[in-house]
Amino acid sequence: MATEGHKYIFVLGGVMSGVGKGIAASSMALILQGRGHKVNLIKIDPYLNVDAGTMNPTEHGEVFVLRSGLETDQDMGNYERFLGRDLVPEDYMTSGMVYQSVIARERALEYGGKTVEAIPHVRDEILRRINAAASHNGSNISVIEVGGTVGDFQNALFIEAARVLRLQHPHDVLHVMVTYLPTPGTLGEMKTKPTQSAVRELNSYGVQPDFIVARSSGSMDEKRKEKLAIWCNVRPDRIISAPDVESIYDVPLNFEKDHFGDLLLEALSLPGQAPADMKEWEGFVQRIKNEKDEVKIGIVGKYFDTGDFVLSDAYLSVIEALKFSGAEVGVKPKIEWVNAKDFTRDDGKEVDVSMLSKYDGILVPGGFGETGIEGKLKAIRFARENNIPYFGLCYGMQLMVIEYARNVLGLEGAHTVEINPETKFPIVDVMPEQVSLIAEGKYGGTMRLGVYPAHLAEGTIAREAYGTDVIEERHRHRYEINPEYVQQIKDGGLTFSGTSPDGILMEIAELPRDKHPFYLGTQFHPELQARPLSPHPLFTQFLKAAVAKKAG
Ligand code: GLN
């Protein structure tokens, strides 16, 4: 069931979720890639959703759209950022996808009258998908992150697939468990027991970890390492201490310091190679740490009811994109979350939004639905009228054009039909191909998704930033700037600096530099293609404008 000569590293979680399995998997892949191996990363999500597109970001974090248009988990964004390349649909699977293919095959009589069962049929579909990703990527090592923690009902079949593959190919498959060692405040001592229990639980599946990556707040001492080695039956040098770090981008460097790469290669019987060349990566990590000057960026959004933790997950790629461009410009973007709902009152009375003047830049990210929309429009207007650099992403671009229509062109009540289908001025309209999909309730995976090209107009901020006339960016939306209003908007002074090749879809809107230092919105999501070693040019321009604003 394995591909000849291929190596598989399964990354399994123990103790609790949220300890950074995705970062550990990405970092392992990066250091192996740095040693000249061709590595692919696979994320397995045990939920039954067929993709991540139908999930609320406050519940599950950002929806990360691949180049192909597949809507995936935010971990896929981390993978792309660490590996520095685009991932393909084969690199992602959910239980929903796996079951959907098995059931489709059953309906087509492809199982030839057999009883179709979780084992072997679902398990084998999981392995088929893992191998399909390896062959699509032409890799020699696959790092496979199994979502959830050991002991969950939902991921048991995936762990079973990992067990069977190891049984059949003992020299080609590794199991790495990422766990957590808590240090309870009242004890002041790092405890290994939860990890011991998690390993025992994994043992009950017939799986023995080869490595333990032990996350903790501080470094693990030798005593605890010995304890874990004895009780978990793992070689002490294969227990990797992974303390909290200042930046997630430190993790691969720390793994390298601990010779994790050598140990993995040894365990896979792959030839030892020179340590990973991480110079460029180190340079980037140093740049983030060295930034002294700050610019204040206000992100005006609506996902603010569930606390800061969920928030930063919902906008993960935006935050990272700002960091990468910050490292390039030499400034630290200090993000503050601004709740759009705070700018409106239930009784309809005006709210003073002048607190926004403390920001060096204002950003309105993507979004759906009505909540907070009038507040966002006020923030956008304030940025326009007060020369504060503004960057609108998707919904943030649509709202920027609506604001312009209302307050500059005088089209009172201008709106998007997503919110007000009866508006007199439907500045943002549903895309024609979306009408029947919405009417039939076909919501999953049907937006305008993935990469589309756009042409950039000479003499615009966008064109200068990209330094090229054709770009490709990733999309995720159902609505668009209504073509019927384009001429009127242009005549009113707003430029459409990026358009689809046929000229029908408006992909970037901006105000000319003589009217505003940086007032730009994109129908696409530039944040999805920003990488540590290749920051996104529009985020970089936005931060440069913020620096200039701060300097006065
Ligand atoms: N709700 C808008 C649309 O569907 C914007 C989507 C987004 O911001 N991703 O067109």
What number does the ligand 1 atom closest to the CA of 366 have?
8
Sheet with 39-45, side-by-side order of all strands:
92-94, 39-45, 141-149, 7-13, 173-180, 211-216, 239-243
Q: Give residue 395's pLDDT.
A: 96
Is the Cβ atom of 527 under 6 angstroms away from ligand 1?
Answer: no
197 located within any domain: yes
Q: Residue 304: its pLDDT value, please?
A: 58
Q: How confident is the model at residue 344 (pLDDT cuts 50, 70, 90)?
A: confident
- Please state, rounded to an integer, the average pLDDT across all residues of the chain: 93
Ligand 1 atom with minimal separation from the 431 CA: 10
**Local confidence band at 4 (pLDDT 50, 70, 90 cut-offs):** confident
Q: Is a pLDDT exceeding 60 seen at residue 305?
A: no
Query: Does ligand 1 have an atom closer than 6 angstroms to the CB of 392?
Result: no
Residue 436 belongs to some domain of the structure? yes
pLDDT at 292: 82
Q: Which of 56, 473, 478 to mutate to test the pocket of ligand 1 (most atoms within 8 A of CB)?
A: 478
The CA dihedral of 340, 343, 349, 354, to the nearest 10 degrees, is -160
C-alpha R_g of the chain? 25
Using one digit for the tens of pLDDT, what is the confidence trace for 352-384?
Answer: 899 999 999 999 999 998 888 999 999 999 999
State the pLDDT at residue 303.
Answer: 62
Does residue 148 form part of some domain? yes
Look at residue 9 in the predicted model and tell me its pLDDT: 97
Q: Strand, coil or helix: what is 475?
A: strand
Instruction: Assign residue 102 the CATH number of its domain.
Output: 3.40.50.300
Q: Position of tokens 């490595």? A: 211
The domain boundary, picked from 230, 251, 283, lies at 283
CA atoms within 13 A on the CB side of 313: 16
Q: How is 210-225 classified by DSSP, letter by letter?
A: SEEEEEESSPPPHHHH
Are both 212 and 230 inside the same structural domain? yes
Is the peptide bond preceding residue 120 cis, with omega within 30 degrees of 0? Answer: yes
Q: Is the pLDDT of residue 519 over 60?
A: yes
Residues 134 and 82 in one domain: yes
Does 278 lie in the same domain as 300?
A: no
Q: Which domain holds residue 337?
A: 291-551
User: Where among 283, 305, 338 does a domain terminate?
Assistant: 283
10-19: pLDDT as tens digits = 999 998 888 8
Residue written as token pair 């009883």: 115
Helix, strand, or coil (residue 530): coil
CATH code of 435's domain: 3.40.50.880
> Based on the domain organization, do 157 and 58 belong to the same domain?
yes
Same domain, yes or no, for 272 and 358? no
Whole-number pLDDT of residue 314: 85
| Boundary of a domain, candidates 238, 259, 283 | 283
- Given a cut of 80, whether residue 297 has pLDDT beyond it is yes
- 426-430 and 479-481 strand pairing: antiparallel
Mean pLDDT of 239-263: 92
| Cα(478) to centroid(ligand 1), Å | 6
The answer to whether residue 204 scores a pLDDT higher than 90 is: yes
Burial of 468 (0-12, 13-18, 19+ CB in 10 A): exposed
Give domain status of residue 414, yes or no.
Answer: yes
Exposure string over 338-357, b if 16+ CB within 10 A, otherwise e: bebbebbeeeeeeeebeebe
**Cα–Cα distance measured from residue 221 to residue 224, given in angstroms and rounded to the nearest whole number:** 6
Q: Is 475 in the pocket of ligand 1 (CB under 6 A)?
A: no
- Ligand 1 pocket member 365 (CB < 6 A): no
Domain assignment present for 2: no
Same domain flag for 209 and 89: yes
CA dihedral 238, 239, 245, 251 (to 10 degrees): 20
Residue 466 lies in a domain: yes
Tell me whether residue 89 is exposed, middle or buried, using C-beta atoms within 10 angstroms of its C-beta: 0 to 12, 13 to 18, 19 or more. middle
- The pLDDT tens digits for 377-431 are 999 999 999 999 999 999 999 999 999 999 999 999 999 999 999 999 999 999 9
Pocket of ligand 1 contains residue 394 by CB under 6 Å: yes
> Are 244 and 97 part of one and the same domain?
yes
Q: 119 alpha carbon to ligand 1 midpoint, in Å? A: 41
Question: For residue 480, which atom of ligand 1 is closest to its CA?
Answer: 10
Say yes or no: CB of residue 163 within 6 Å of ligand 1.
no
Report d(CA 237, CA 263) in Å as an integer: 8
Q: What is the pLDDT of residue 246?
A: 87
Instruction: Give the closest residue (by CA) to ligand 1 atom 7.
Output: 366
Contacts of 246 (CB under 8 A, 6+ apart): 289
Say whether both 95 and 204 belong to one domain.
yes
pLDDT (0 to 100) of residue 3:
74
Nearest Cα residue to 316 out of 504, 80, 129, 95: 80
Q: What angle do CA 483, 488, 494 make, to 5 degrees?
A: 95
Per the structure, the count of domains in the chain is 2
pLDDT digits (tens, 9 = 90+) for 464-515: 999 999 999 999 999 999 999 999 999 999 999 999 999 999 999 999 999 9
Task: Note whether residue 1 is domain-resident.
Answer: no
Is pLDDT of 318 > 80? Answer: yes
Q: pTM here? A: 0.94
Q: Are residues 243 and 178 in the same domain?
A: yes
355 with 416, same domain: the answer is yes
Give yes or no for residue 306 having a pLDDT over 60: no
Largest CA distance in the chain: 75
Predicted confidence band at 313 (pLDDT cuts at 50, 70, 90)? confident
| Residues 162 and 296 occupy one common structural domain | no
Q: What is the pLDDT of residue 272?
A: 66
With CA atoms as reference, report the closest residue to 125 among 93, 102, 154, 158.
102
Is the domain of 247 the same as that of 184?
Answer: yes
How far CA 235 is from CA of 212, 243, 259, in Å, comes to 9, 19, 14
Is residue 192 in some structural domain?
Answer: yes
